[in-house]
């Protein structure tokens, strides 16, 4: 609220607005509508990702005969639930201009902790609480180091990644199977949807997390501060916003989301292993970038990250359906896609920079 | 102003001491010293060296040999970080280089000939140069953030490497690669000699010419450097090409070590080790100041840690945890705020003798601060703090 309220109410002599708005036809209407939305140009990026997703999925449906079913689309959510949660946490961090490299390792820590504690006979709810608390604690410590000691997020979360993987290995090197009733029940049972389709509980939870995150980012003081810090940390501090609390909070959220992602992953795969989720943080970052969030912070939508994950999932599904392509094409395609989006980001932000 | 030359003379001594105390390299050296001391106590055989068939053997030699690929990459990474950049793709470049080389050797008509090896090495290094040019293009011409520009190649690079090897682990035998993997030159492992030569060359080129200063200028403020006539864009481009080049050479080393190119696992996480080595050595990720000595010490710390854990008979799994704890401690010691707090605690003792030694002739209210070399600047010294900030 502080961000938008302090702005003067739409100065009439802004040079760019009338020219763009007075453009005839549908383009002008679209531009006016985009300006009227509170998220502005972020909406364009998210729409682009959405179009890409539809095009990719449409291409798959045309090319492969079993691709165009609703359940295939829903499976994108089911198979990538943990990545969605991870990307949500990453979105918070990237919006402040930071980065969290520890999330993949925290996912592994979550699976290992869950598996080993369940093996030791702890009740499942207690295990879940313990895992979530550990992830949040790790995020809190990293946030404190980043804000309190003014270390770079990149390097702090890198150390956090080493620490989390180290703890994983110290707990257990080999993979541990999960046989707990609650975990297997969540893994096996599904939510029936009309039309004979279904979603897993994990996917539903992931969607809930996305909705919650969107609420927090756009309807709370904390969320506004996140955007303000990403825009300019010193300005945010000068405006009297709680920069420190918010920065630490963002890493706590990311740690919590990573731990939750770890739980979802352990439900998905029903085992705990210290080598789970290697490179997962990169997938999450890629999803956030493809979803239109600026890496310098300050601009982006959590819905975009959801779409970004789905784009990644569609590419994987396409390559699976083809059968003739090898799995390494996934990596190359994701890399190329990342490149395209980063260059686009760069071009659009450069244009915006010269215009203002 | 007349008494400044006399007063300035004792200043360098305290300045040097002060600088040494403030220098992050010192902390790294201290950490390495503690580690080695610990080894000397816990494992007396650690320092024993012996010469066999004219070659040097021993734990320390192993440390130095195993550190070679990481250190080689870390040297390139130091320059990249000095320009306020970072290169995450070195692991992928390493994998591509090894894959390319061994695929060529394996597919050649005469796999064990020297010409085959030369061709393989040439193509692998050329591949590294191309990849480096790609990164450099993205960062310096397109203007993408270094983390992200190199993330692209990091993600796609392993896919490319697997494309080259067709997803297999390529094994090949060639005397040149055997020599690169296990040979000796002047009694030292070949890899150590290569790394030392590269280090020496980089040191001479950057510290005996203006290149190092130019690199630092780009890191401090690219726009200002450009306005001052530094060709910031070409310098940025060049450091990315250079780091990819050394990564390609390191790829040849790593592949030669095991006589097999593994597109998936070769050089996995080596970018993190290299970055850690640079950061532990006191080079700030914010760019603008770098220390090659620090990088060497940082890389040695990482490798000594691993060797220590192994020689102590601890299980392999604890290496990561151990490493993480030590790294976190070094980071904390280097954090500006922690160092400031430590200095503040020491300041009352340290400041008093410096003040009395610096200005014995002026007991008045003049603070000992404005003592500086006699520069022909009119007036007093208003820009001291700003100037310090720039030089720092």
Per-residue confidence (pLDDT) for residue B187, from 0 to 100: 77
What's the rounded Cα separation, in Å, for the pair B31 and B297?
9
Going by pLDDT thresholds of 50, 70 and 90, the confidence category of residue A131 is: very high
Residue B321 dihedral angles phi and psi, to the nearest 5°: -65, -45
Give dist(CA B62, CA B7) in Å, integer: 50
The values of phi and psi at residue A144, to 5°, are -60, -45
Distance, CA of B24 to CA of B37 (rounded, Å): 20
A323: left (phi over 0), alpha (psi -120 to 50) or beta: left
Q: How far is B372 from chain A (nearest CA, A)?
A: 31
DSSP at B89: T
How many Cβ atoms are within 10 Å of A334's Cβ, its own excluded?
A: 23
pLDDT band at A35 (very low <50, low <70, confident <90, very high): low
Helix (H) or strand (E) holding A145: helix A124-148
Say if residues A99 and A157 touch (Cβ distance below 8 Å): yes
In this predicted model, which residue has the larger pLDDT, B68 or A151?
A: B68
Residue B208 DSSP class: S
| A-B C-beta contacts closer than 8 Å | 116
pLDDT attached to residue B9: 43
- pLDDT bin (cut points 50, 70, 90) of residue B369 is very low
Distance CA B218, CA B232 (A): 6
With vertex at residue A232, the alpha carbon angle to CA A228 and CA A234, rounded to the nearest 5 degrees, is: 105
Q: Name the least confident of A27-41, A234-248, B197-211.
A: A27-41
Residues of chain B contacting residue A167, judged by C-beta atoms under 8 Å apart: 321
Q: What residues does each domain of chain B span?
A: 64-337
Q: Is the predicted pLDDT of residue A234 greater than 70, yes or no?
A: yes
Cβ-based interface (< 8 Å): residues of A facing B:
99, 145, 148-152, 154-156, 158-159, 161-163, 165-167, 169-170, 173, 282, 285-286, 289, 295-296, 326, 328-332, 334-336, 338-339, 342-343, 346, 350
- CA dihedral for A321, A327, A328, A333, sign (positive or negative): positive
Cα–Cα distance for residue pair A123/A116, rounded to 1 Å: 12
> What's the whole-number average pLDDT of chain B?
78
In this complex, is the C-beta atom of B17 within 8 Å of any C-beta atom belonging to chain A? no
Is some CB atom of chain A closer than 8 A to the CB atom of B53? Answer: no
Which pLDDT score is estimated for A254?
96
C-alpha dihedral over B99, B101, B105, B108, to 10 degrees?
100
* Distance in angstroms between the alpha carbons of the first and the last residue of chain A: 24
- Separation CA A233–CA A241 (nearest Å): 10
Q: Are B167 and A326 in contact (CB under 8 A)?
A: yes
Write the pLDDT tens digit of every residue in B7-38: 444 444 455 556 655 666 777 788 888 888 88
CA distance B203 to B340: 30
Coil/strand/helix, residue A273: coil
Tokens at A91, concatenated: 């979105």
> How far is the C-alpha of B91 from the C-alpha of B85, rounded, in Å?
16
B18 class by beta-carbon count within 10 Å (0-12 exposed, 13-18 middle, 19+ buried) = middle
For the ranges A162-176, B342-356, B374-388, the lowest mean pLDDT is seen at: B374-388
- For position B364, what pLDDT does the model report? 41
What is the architecture, at CATH level 2, of domain A41-350? Orthogonal Bundle (1.10)
Can you tell me the distance from the alpha carbon of A165 to that of A106, in angstroms, rounded to the nearest whole number? 8
Cβ-based contacts of B317 with chain A (< 8 Å): 169-170, 173
B interface test, pick of A339, A340, A341 with most B CB neighbours within 10 Å = A339
Interface residue B335 vs chain A (CB under 8 A): yes
Instruction: Judge residue A323's burial from the number of C-beta atoms within 10 Å of its C-beta, 0-12 exposed, 13-18 middle, 19 or more buried.
Output: exposed
The crossing angle, in degrees rounded to 10, of helices A81-95 and A243-269 is 170
Closest CA to A295 of B135, B145, B222, B287: B145
Spatial distance between the Cα atoms of B331 and A146, rounded to a whole number of angstroms: 11
A155/B285 Cβ within 8 A: yes
How many Cβ atoms from other residues are within 10 Å of residue B367's Cβ?
11
Collapsing DSSP states into helix, strand and coil, what is residue A176?
strand
Chosen for mutation from B88, B99, B147, B148 (greatest number of chain A CBs closer than 10 Å) is: B148
Question: B64-337, what's its fold?
Answer: ABC transporter involved in vitamin B12 uptake, BtuC (1.10.3470)
Q: Where are the domains of chain A?
A: 41-350
pTM for this structure? 0.76
The answer to whether the CB atoms of A335 and B163 lie below 8 A apart is: no
Structure-model confidence comparison of residues A187 and B99, the more confident one: B99
B47 part of contact set with chain A, CB < 8 Å: no
Which of B155, B167, B320 lies closest to A162 in CB terms? Answer: B320
Ranking A314-328, B233-247, B302-316, B367-381 by mean pLDDT, the lowest is B367-381
Rounded to an integer, what distance in angstroms lies between the CA atom of residue A69 and that of residue A319?
17
Q: Burial of A9 by CB count in 10 Å (0-12 exposed, 13-18 middle, 19+ buried)? A: exposed
For the cut 70, the answer to whether the pLDDT of residue A347 exceeds it is: yes
Average pLDDT over residues A306-315: 92
Confidence at residue A30, expressed as pLDDT on a 0 to 100 scale: 66
């Amino acid at each position: 609220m502080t961000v938008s309220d302090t702005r003067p109410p739409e100065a009439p002599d802004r040079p760019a607005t009338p020219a763009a708005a007075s453009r005839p036809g549908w383009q002008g209407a679209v531009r006016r509508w985009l300006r009227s939305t509170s998220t502005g140009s972020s909406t364009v990026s998210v729409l682009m990702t959405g179009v890409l997703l539809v095009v990719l999925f449409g291409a798959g449906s045309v090319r492969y005969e079993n691709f165009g079913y609703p359940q295939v689309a829903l499976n994108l959510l089911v198979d990538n639930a943990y990545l969605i949660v991870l990307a949500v946490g990453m979105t918070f961090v990237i919006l402040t201009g930071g980065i969290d490299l520890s999330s993949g390792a925290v996912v592994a820590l979550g699976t290992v902790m869950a598996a080993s504690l369940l093996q030791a006979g702890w009740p499942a709810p207690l295990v879940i609480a313990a895992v979530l608390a550990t992830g949040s604690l790790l995020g809190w410590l990293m946030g404190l180091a980043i804000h309190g000691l003014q270390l770079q997020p990149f390097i702090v979360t890198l150390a956090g990644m080493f620490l989390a993987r180290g703890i994983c290995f110290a707990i257990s090197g080999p993979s541990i199977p999960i046989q707990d009733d609650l975990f297997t029940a969540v893994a096996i049972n599904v939510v029936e949807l009309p039309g004979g389709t279904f979603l897993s509980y994990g996917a539903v939870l992931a969607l809930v997390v996305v909705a919650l995150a969107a609420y927090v980012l756009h309807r709370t003081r904390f969320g506004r501060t996140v955007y303000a810090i990403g825009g300019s940390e010193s300005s945010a501090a000068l405006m009297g916003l709680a920069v420190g609390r918010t920065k630490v909070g963002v890493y706590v959220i990311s740690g919590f989301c990573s731990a939750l992602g770890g739980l979802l992953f352990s439900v998905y795969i029903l085992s705990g292993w210290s080598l789970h989720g290697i490179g997962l943080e990169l997938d999450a970052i890629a999803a956030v970038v493809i979803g239109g969030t600026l890496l310098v912070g300050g601009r982006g939508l959590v819905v975009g990250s959801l779409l970004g994950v789905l784009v990644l999932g569609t590419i994987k599904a396409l390559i699976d359906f083809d059968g003739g392509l090898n799995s390494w094409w996934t990596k190359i395609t994701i890399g190329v896609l990342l490149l395209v989006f980063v260059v686009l980001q760069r071009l659009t932000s450069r244009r915006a920079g010269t215009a203002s | 102003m007349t008494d400044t030359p006399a007063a300035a003379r004792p200043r360098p001594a305290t300045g040097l001491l002060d600088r040494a105390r403030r220098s992050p390299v010192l902390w790294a050296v201290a950490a390495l010293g503690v580690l080695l001391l610990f080894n000397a106590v816990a494992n007396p055989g650690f320092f024993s060296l012996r010469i066999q068939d004219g070659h040097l053997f021993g734990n320390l030699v192993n440390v130095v040999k195993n550190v070679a690929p990481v250190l080689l990459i870390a040297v390139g990474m130091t320059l990249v970080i000095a320009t306020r950049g970072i290169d995450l793709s070195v692991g992928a470049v390493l994998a591509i280089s090894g894959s390319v080389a061994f695929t060529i050797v394996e597919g050649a008509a005469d796999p064990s000939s020297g010409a085959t090896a030369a061709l393989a090495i040439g193509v692998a290094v050329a591949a590294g140069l191309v990849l480096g040019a790609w990164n450099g293009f993205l960062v310096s011409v397109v203007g993408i953030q270094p983390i992200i520009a190199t993330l692209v190649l990091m993600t796609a690079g392993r896919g490319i490497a697997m494309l080259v090897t067709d997803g297999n682990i390529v094994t090949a035998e060639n005397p040149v690669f055997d020599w690169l993997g296990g040979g000796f030159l002047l009694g030292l492992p070949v890899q150590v000699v290569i790394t030392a030569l590269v280090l020496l060359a980089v040191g001479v080129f950057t510290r005996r010419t203006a290149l190092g200063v130019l690199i630092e200028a780009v890191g401090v403020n690219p726009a200002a450097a450009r306005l001052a006539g530094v060709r910031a864009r070409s310098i940025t481009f060049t450091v990315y090409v250079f780091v990819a080049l050394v990564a390609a050479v390191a790829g040849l080393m790593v592949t030669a070590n095991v006589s097999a190119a593994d597109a998936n696992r070769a050089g996995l996480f080596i970018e993190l080790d290299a970055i850690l080595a640079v950061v532990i050595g006191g080079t700030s990720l914010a760019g603008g100041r770098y220390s090659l000595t620090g990088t060497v010490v940082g890389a040695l710390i990482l490798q000594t840690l691993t060797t220590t854990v192994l020689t102590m008979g601890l299980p392999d799994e604890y290496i990561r945890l151990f490493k993480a704890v030590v790294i976190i401690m070094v980071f904390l010691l280097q954090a500006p705020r922690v160092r400031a707090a430590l200095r503040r605690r020491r300041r009352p003792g340290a400041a008093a003798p410096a003040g009395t030694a610096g200005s014995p002739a002026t007991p008045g209210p003049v603070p000992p601060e404005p003592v500086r070399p006699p520069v022909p600047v009119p007036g007093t010294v208003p820009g001291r703090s700003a100037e310090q900030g720039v030089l720092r």
